[in-house]
Chain A
């Protein structure tokens, strides 16, 4: 870690670095702050501030398409993060705290594959793949979207769980075995509670990722299956109304909430182990 240096040249202050950093943060947040601010604008222009109002939130909330898209986004995200986290937990248990075994690299690559492949390529691949299935089976419900989302959420759930597992000392589990606990009992009463913060963190990450997805959903969706991001994409290409501001701010708020929880959870991790 960095140690404060009591010298003429402080290691902590390289010339201009602080200034650039502040500019970066300002540049990163300014556009977002503008959106948040103007979502409360009474008027409908981004240039003129016409007073504080929650009108645009009301408009967005009453918009049937927005309601449906939001509900759909949430349903997909819940299912996808649930499936992804379950499978990722199992996979993490199978690939962590163990010596390298034949195929472990393959498993690792497979699980993290969505992180490496550009989204547009996956979107195109799923479009082609699902199109034939849709024609063959005649089914065009939400399952395709849930499947696609669950797949690309797996690595995001996997990494925090794995990180948590790797930090766990086997001592407690060995102790449980010494006390005549069966492997299943050990898992349920020792391993699972210990790894739980990592699992929850992984689930939240997966949830956020699924909620945010644009490209894959845009390509895979069928009639009337807009999610909140695809609805926004459609709006952005036609007319930019402050309604989109309100939706963006609401979505942002949700993300910040989940992220704060994530940080608190993982922060507590370090203290409790």
Chain B
């Protein structure tokens, strides 16, 4: 019995490892539930490449895995304020998207960003805001505040989920207590810790998968990103997105190629590919965030042009701030607070 098993598995193993059915490979490391399968299929067909996508749930997890080495990924999609850290550690390939064929489609405002000057490393993927999402049938009051998770109203006690993305949570709490992002002011940080630790018993959970769990009603309220909330609202019309008036993060995720990528040519093809308006529209249509490519609006679904999650109401635009890259010292303080929060 065993010899034939070995023969069978040897063939299968060979097939798996040589990937005889595609000319090339591309291994993407991206946020969970963030990549349009249709986009991938289109890319695979156009360039005869087999694409794999692996999920991560936080910038820190991704960076940790990449820094450890031996990961096997070609592309990673970090949030902008983490890109300088990647560059500083020599983890990224300087692929010069600014010299690629479709770079001319990138919007003016995104062509030169403080965290990737002149775009030598990254291409815009999507950008958005972090706020709170609430099922309005459970709580009908003002949802434009971080108090939803930092000091929940009675109806939401024990019903709020907090996404464990350390960067976003700590910065939102910093805004809430009146501090500045990346501060090393210990008095302010102490307040942040105290507020978070006091709020945690009132949380339901600290987990991901918010899009589906908001849709199903499993999370009556959660810290969430705007696009994810939009998707949930399409499934469950009672869900609404709140822009915390104390301050909320604006972020952009960007596609970068790793220096030790095994398939750098395919990765460059991918970077170029997503700068085409149609493809950028595919990305946005799936995850429901805005992208940074001109002309893509023509291809995007109608409801995205007027959705309050994408087009921020004028009066709520003020408190939105891009997060800068924090220094090592400030990062260590953040991690210490976060660890204390885990108990």
Contact = CB atoms under 8 A, between A and B. Distances in A.
Task: Determine whether A and B are in direct contact in the complex, meaning some CB atoms lie less than 8 angstroms apart.
Answer: yes
Interface of A: 71-72, 74-75, 78-79, 82, 85, 130-135, 140-142, 200, 203, 222-226, 234, 237-240
Contacts of B71: 134, 140, 222-223
Contacts of B73: 223
Contacts of B1: 200
7 contacts: A71-B12, A131-B68, A133-B70, A203-B2, A224-B53, A224-B72, A239-B213
A74 B6 CA distance: 12
Nearest to A130: B70
B12 A239 contact: no
B93 to A, nearest CB: 16
Given A142-B17, A238-B209, A224 B27 contact: yes
B212 A239 contact: yes
Interface string B44-80: 0000000011110000000000001111111000000
Interface residues of B, number: 31
B208 interface: yes
Nearest to B57: A237
A131 B27 contact: no
Contacts of B32: 234, 238
Contacts of B211: 239
A78 B9 contact: yes
A132 B67 CA distance: 11
A254 to B, nearest CB: 15
B16 interface: yes
Contact of A131 (B2, B70, B208): B70
A72 B52 CA distance: 14
Given A79-B13, A239-B211, 19 more contacts: A71-B12, A71-B16, A75-B9, A75-B13, A78-B5, A78-B9, A79-B9, A130-B70, A131-B68, A131-B69, A132-B70, A135-B70, A200-B1, A203-B2, A222-B71, A224-B53, A237-B208, A237-B209, A238-B209
Given A78-B8, A135-B70, A238 B16 contact: no
Given A82-B2, A224-B54, A238-B209, A140 B12 contact: no
